[in-house]
């Protein structure tokens, strides 16, 4: 059920990103800068045929292949995440990052460049778009979760060796439970020894001691019977 919810969320995010880019191409391309928050944020149409800050300008085929490889890694990572509520934030972050990467990938495949229109005026920063917001915010949240929420052992699902050891742990636990099982009277061996050593209480003989005493009694009885038989033979003579 959660996969359907994530797919819907994924498609919705991509649709919103593409809609904002469509408005930028149709309404903003022929206009000058539109201030949203004067001195802080404005709308400025820009076309980028490279990566951030103009890196790899004109290398659209390489960027497409690179993005596909990254998307494959994200899908693999998402498929390995355990199906528990503790990992729900991590799954949502991966969905958001994937939606941002797909949003810019669509632009590169269809138009050969990415449409940007958001400009921060407080400091020098590249013009970006909604898909870039998905990626940046998701990356920041992922770092915060890795530092303050998740522990190192929470990422055991990424290691095959760790998963193998976890699979073997129940068997070892079962052995220890069997070793610590109480005796027939509901007490462990350690508790029996402690009770035996209590002052004023005479310890009961163990089963081994009882069996050895019985054997000695039987041997003594057999010797007495033999002596009686020998005595009767002497009397008859």
| Residue ranges in the chain modelled with pLDDT below 50 | 162-173, 176, 183-184, 201
Helix (H) or strand (E) holding 149: none
Tell me the three state secondary structure of residue 33. Answer: coil
Beta bridge partners, 35, equal: 42
The burial of 51, by beta-carbon neighbours within 10 Å (0-12 exposed, 13-18 middle, 19 or more buried), is given as middle
Q: What are the pLDDT digits (tens) for 160-195?
A: 654 444 444 444 445 545 555 554 455 555 555 555
Tell me the three state secondary structure of residue 178. Answer: helix
Question: Which pLDDT value is given to residue 217?
Answer: 75
Specify if 200 maps to a domain: no
Question: Which pLDDT value is given to residue 100?
Answer: 95
Specify if 222 maps to a domain: no
Specify if 16 maps to a domain: yes
> What separation, in Å, do the N-terminal and C-terminal C-alpha atoms of the chain show?
103
Domain interval for residue 125: 2-162
Q: Is 17 a catalytic residue?
A: no
Specify if 140 maps to a domain: yes
Candidate list 17, 49, 132, 154, residue with the active-site label: 132
A 10 A CB-CB count for 198 gives 9
Specify if 15 maps to a domain: yes
Specify if 27 maps to a domain: yes
Candidate list 17, 49, 107, 116, residue with the active-site label: 116
Specify if 233 maps to a domain: no
Q: Is 116 a catalytic residue?
A: yes
Q: Is the pTM of this model over 0.75?
A: no
Question: Which pLDDT value is given to residue 184?
Answer: 46
Specify if 208 maps to a domain: no
**Number of structural domains in the chain:** 1
In this structure, is the dihedral angle defined by the CA atoms of residues 88, 93, 96 and 98, taken in order, positive or negative? negative
């Amino acid at each position: 059920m959660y996969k359907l919810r994530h797919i819907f969320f994924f498609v919705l995010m991509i649709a919103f990103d593409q809609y904002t880019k469509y408005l930028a191409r149709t309404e903003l391309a022929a206009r000058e800068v539109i201030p949203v928050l004067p001195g802080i944020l404005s709308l400025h149409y820009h076309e980028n045929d490279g990566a951030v800050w103009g890196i790899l300008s004109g290398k659209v085929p390489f960027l497409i292949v690179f993005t596909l490889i990254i998307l494959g890694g994200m899908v693999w990572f998402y498929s390995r995440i355990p199906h528990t509520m503790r990992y729900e934030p991590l799954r949502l972050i991966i969905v958001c990052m994937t939606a941002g990467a797909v949003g810019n990938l669509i632009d590169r495949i269809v138009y050969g460049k990415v449409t940007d229109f958001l400009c921060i005026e407080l400091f020098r920063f590249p013009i970006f778009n909604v898909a870039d917001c998905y990626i940046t915010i998701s990356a920041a949240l992922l770092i915060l979760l890795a530092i303050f929420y998740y522990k190192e052992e929470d990422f055991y699902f990424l290691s095959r060796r760790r998963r193998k050891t976890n699979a073997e742990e129940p068997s070892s636990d079962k052995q220890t439970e069997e070793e610590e099982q109480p005796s027939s009277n509901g007490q462990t061996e350690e508790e029996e020894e402690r009770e035996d050593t209590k002052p004023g209480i005479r310890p009961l003989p163990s089963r081994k001691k009882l069996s050895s005493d019985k054997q000695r009694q039987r041997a003594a009885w057999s010797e007495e019977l033999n002596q009686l038989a020998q005595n009767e033979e002497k009397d008859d003579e």
